[in-house]
Amino acid sequence: MQREELGLETAGKAIAVVGLAAILPDAHDAATFWENVKAGRDSIGEVPPERWDPRDYYDPDPSAPDKTYSKIGAFVRGFRFESTRFRIPPAVGAAMDVTQQWMLCCARDALADAGHPGAGKIDPERTAVVLGNALGGELHELTTFRVLLPEVWRELESLPELGALAESARRSLLECLAARVCAKLPPITEDAMPGELGNVIAGRVANALDLRGPNFTTDAACASSLAALDAAVGLLLQGRVDTVVTGGVDRTMAPTTFVKFSKIGALSADGSRPFDATANGFVMGEGAVALVLRRLADAERDGQRVYAVIRGVGASSDGKGKGITAPNPRGQLLAIQRGWQEAGLAPRTVGLIEAHGTSTKVGDATEAECLVNVLGETGLPPRSVALGSVKSQIGHLKSAAGAAGLLKTVLALHHKVLPPTVNVRQLNPAIDPERSPLFVNLAAQPWERPISSPRRAAVSSFGFGGTNYHVVLEEPLPELLTRGRVAAREATSVPVFSPQEISAGPSTPPRRAALCLGASSPAGLKAKLARALADAKSGVVPAPEASRPADLAAPERLVIDFEDSSSLIAKAEKALEAFAAEDPKVWRVLQARGVFRGSGPAPKVAFLFPGQGSQYLGMLRALHAAHPVVRRTFEEADAAMEGKIPRRLSDYVFAEGEEADAALRDTQVCQPAMLTADIALMRLLGESGVEPDLVMGHSLGEYAALVACGAMPFADALLAVSARAKEMASVSIADNGKMASIFAPEEQVRQVLGEVGGYVVAANINSRKQTVIGGATRAVEEAVARFEKLGVRAVFLPVSHAFHTEIVAPASQPLRRVLERLRLRAPSIPIISNVTGELYPSTGGELREQMLDLLARQIASPVQFVKGLETAWRLGARVFVEVGPKRVLASFVDDVLGDRGAVAVSTNQPKKGEFESFAEALCGLWASGLGRKGSMQTPTMPEAGAKLDSQAAAFTTRSSETLSEAGHLALGKLFAGFLEEGLKTYRQHFDGEAKGTPAPKALPEAQQQGGSVVVTGASVGLPGRARRIFEDDNFERVLRGDCLIESIEPRVRERMAGKQVVRLVKGSDGSARFDTISDTAEVIKLAGLPGSLDLVEEFGIDKERVEAFDVTTQLAVAAALLALRDAGIPLVRRYRKTTKGSWLPDRWTLPESLADETGIVFASAFPGYDALVGEVSRFHEDRARRERIAELSALRSALPTNEAAV
């Protein structure tokens, strides 16, 4: 690409479109709208009878008074607003105009498309709502009619014919008429006015979605939504907000609008035909479009999907012209020129123009002439710029027209397709296809990228009153504008699961590669496959690295996993047969053979993590040998579990034999082993470019999901599941209960359970056809007998307890106490809870407590897996990846969501083989359009050879749970200052005061260590009465500048005065004297008062050991333990062997691999002084008591011994 064509000088003004949503004719979402656009669907038809009756308002004669000569339009049908989803009372929702309802739904869906809420990318405090609308909606016409009814009644009463009736008959007639009319009109309440005002549309969105940036509605007639876009871009570029929800909405399709436009002569009675010679007026349409905008640099920094980039917006007014409603070429020309000037780009780089194109003969000709004037000077060849108008398909949306055209153009850039314009049979004479660079595109076709620039497009919108807007957009190329270079994915290939990735190991995996094909149409894809098959038969097989990102991003995709040429030939032939069959079921069958077909944009992907029960001996053995990331994950787990189980965790997993199988099934071994396998596969997927949009686990798997969403470090999750397993195993009651798997619909299962006497519940609602029940032994046995009698398959599960029932509820609170000591933070992507089947909370002051409550409850609550899958589907997930051993959860997805087109992929199928099953999973994901998004943003191990090779060394610090970016910066400066002062002191010692002392000898070169000193963990204890010394928010208190000085209580000051402290007082004349402090007024009154510290309760240290520590040592121990935890360095429990061969818990230590390399250096001004003073005081008190006793004894011996003398 040529630098001058990139517009780097204006790159700082680039705005990203990161979210989309729409409610339009024949399309209640943006994806359906795009499919309609590509297919050339015409959504224009006669007015629906439920809207209004043409018999009342229609007359084909344009001169008929108060009538419309047109009764066609593009209408939204079948929309249903559920106010309670927005926590809006039904009465308020009913009083809202449909414009507000549509826009509220679109704004919510667009934000969800942009990852909000859940991903943490969008801050509601800095999110604005700027929307385009004119005339409000239709509701205000009805309420206005109701208000004006008295005038109608008065005219009726004045009619002589009515006056001839008896008074009672006249009154009865009017009352009956009023009742019938009012019954058809909405009531006027306190909610009526805000429900129908146009300016409240933006306010309603901000209110319902809790967005706290500016909100307002723009009215520029038919250019309203692009006027809103212009204002939104300005807010972002001024830095006043970080995110804007913008777009437009229009639902003015009442007969009044038809009649008024008819009197202008603007409507067509027979169809919308932009740029056709027979165009005779526009056809009205309705709908809503919402777009989420962010600065491009922010969107790329946060890893958000960018649909398109807005480079510039031009605006103008017509000024004085022929009339207020007549188009003025001068004004339009100015808007177009200003748009490209604002973008800093040359108009010659445009490839698509979405015109205002209303289908009026004069308007279309005027617009085409303006465009030719601008483009004609650029030297563009004929038929080089596609021209179109979405109004040919959905009519003229009036104030939302610009937003609809913008949505179409953004999706065209995103999918790299030139969309069609329909109903053009004879071109408007103003467009000469042989001489003009413009051509009207009549069918969807691939949009080839120019050599010198990205794909670019423009959108125009012109409004009554002479207001004109022109927007310049381009396709997003990551880092092209933010760093001035072309995206890496446009210049590099997609790595395939191949031997080149594999390090040396005990075994060599079979060679695997993938054939990746992409095309713009199924026919093109079939042709490519035929060529690849011919090549394979001639001995030419694709290299493992031969695929191109363009293929994986194409609208139509095919990916085949193969081992050698013969397997590729066999699978390619089957794929060609599937093309011929044109049956989706055939493709579904081929997935099991490693052949995957995909089309359309990349969907959202959900990672599903299995739990206990999916483990097997030797799981991930081959991947462990071949991939360093898997090995490092197991090494990390071995270190974290050291001392918690008798042997290394990996020794249990990779052992052999029946005894080894039984040992792995032990809950306290199985749960950390499953977690480790899940995380290892997740990290391997991350290295392959696949990362989740949301996550969910099954039972134990929920802890893997917590790691995946960044809510809990892997090391802490291992500690959590270890404690979970221990507490579950320690539950001991008279009846530990039973569990059984029932292969029947959930409704039938619950019906039978309701007939059983005793405690039995649905413990795992896994799929539509399978539910696990649990409860008291006799009750479960009775339930199984009933199911078997009904012919339903029921299988008892080999478990020690009835998990996820009240039987194991005693383990909840002990587990919670353990979890409270671990790091837990807000998830960075959505995570679904087993307890509720809904999302975990992601914001709020009580976030940590809410998450702890869910995890504590999870152990004894039913697993709502079906509900969780429905939630994931509702959030947009269409691809579900089982990230863990075996294929269990993927089958649940097939059962629950398979009929809706969900794609279920499993990453590990031991019967198929680890390499083949993982490679097939990647192929399935690539075919879906996923992959190459970047590495996972989860804790990872250092590279081989790093200092802490087997320990977690990149975990988020505890303070990052609540610290802002500025807080981290301040904290970094604090530690940097500390290190700088320390080094300064060090240098002064050797270079200044001790010049006479020989400097220490330099180490031999081979022993010298290079690099920087880094702080990987920190803790701080602070003063504060009635607080713990080591509170979780201590760093925040320091950085906020909280005052930690408090008043000393009077009783303490009295004790200080009672000590008769002697002070030296110097006079101004140089004299000095000693004064004794005896008055409380003279002692200090303010101090940093000590808080509470209990090493036994807070840190689990033995009471006997703590009793031997002075307060300084206690502070040091607490600070050290917290700093180690903050650095992600675990402590491990040691066990000692008894004389009988059993093992007993001993003490906590660092892992062996760190113990010999870890030093401890603490500084204290008065270490142990308080203990020393205490000991001295007790010594003197004891000696004084003894002396007193001796004096009393001597006195007693001197007394007479006879009672009489006494």
Residues known to be catalytic: 699, 804
The answer to whether 950 and 635 have CB atoms below 8 angstroms apart is yes
Calculated CA dihedral for residues 828, 830, 835, 841, nearest 10 degrees = 60
Which two three-digit tokens encode residue 471?
Answer: 């927007």
Q: Please name which of 966, 956, 1127, 1123 lies closest in space to residue 1039, comparing C-alpha atoms.
A: 966
Would you give the distance in Å from CA 26 to the centre of its chain?
29
The answer to whether 98 and 139 have CB atoms below 8 angstroms apart is yes
Which helix (H) or strand (E) element contains residue 879?
Answer: strand 877-882
The answer to whether 809 and 860 have CB atoms below 8 angstroms apart is yes
Which two three-digit tokens encode residue 175?
Answer: 């009352």
- Which residues are 1092's β-sheet partners? 1028
Q: Please name which of 19, 15, 34, 17 lies closest in space to residue 604, comparing C-alpha atoms.
A: 19
Which helix (H) or strand (E) element contains residue 55?
Answer: helix 54-57
Q: How many helices (H) and strands (E) does the chain have?
A: 43, 34
The rounded distance, in Å, linking the Cα atoms of 261 and 259 is 6
Provide the 10 A C-beta neighbour count for residue 390. Answer: 30
**236-254 exposure pattern, b = at least 16 Cβ within 10 A, e = fewer:** beeeebbbbbbbbbbbbbb
Which two three-digit tokens encode residue 345?
Answer: 């780009």
Return the ∠ at Cα 181 (arms to 179 and 183), rounded to 5°.
65
Which two three-digit tokens encode residue 76?
Answer: 């939204």
Instruction: Note if the bond before 1023 is cis, omega within 30 degrees.
Output: no
Q: Is 516 helix (H, G, I), strand (E, B) or coil?
A: strand
Which residues have CB under 8 Å from 555's CB, separation 6+? 415, 416, 417, 518, 519, 520, 521, 599, 600
The rounded distance, in Å, linking the Cα atoms of 756 and 604 is 42
**What are the phi and psi torsion angles at 784 (to 5°)?**
-60, -40
CA-CA distances (angstroms) from residue 251 to 23, 33, 71, 75, 1201? 11, 18, 16, 9, 116
Q: Please name which of 1144, 641, 613, 1134 lies closest in space to residue 650, comparing C-alpha atoms.
A: 641
- Considering just the CA atoms, what is the radius of gyration of the chain in Å? 38
The rounded distance, in Å, linking the Cα atoms of 441 and 458 is 15
The rounded distance, in Å, linking the Cα atoms of 39 and 112 is 27
Which two three-digit tokens encode residue 1011?
Answer: 């690099």
* Beta pairing class for 1132-1137 and 1143-1149: antiparallel
- The dihedral through the CA atoms of 234, 237, 242, 245 has a sign that is positive
The rounded distance, in Å, linking the Cα atoms of 1041 and 970 is 12
The rounded distance, in Å, linking the Cα atoms of 32 and 26 is 8
The rounded distance, in Å, linking the Cα atoms of 1039 and 967 is 7
The rounded distance, in Å, linking the Cα atoms of 994 and 867 is 73
Longest dimension (CA), the chain: 146
Enter the DSSP assignment of 796. E
Q: Which residue has the tokens 């809706």?
A: 900
* Beta pairing class for 456-463 and 467-474: antiparallel
Q: Please name which of 934, 791, 765 lies closest in space to residue 862, comparing C-alpha atoms.
A: 765
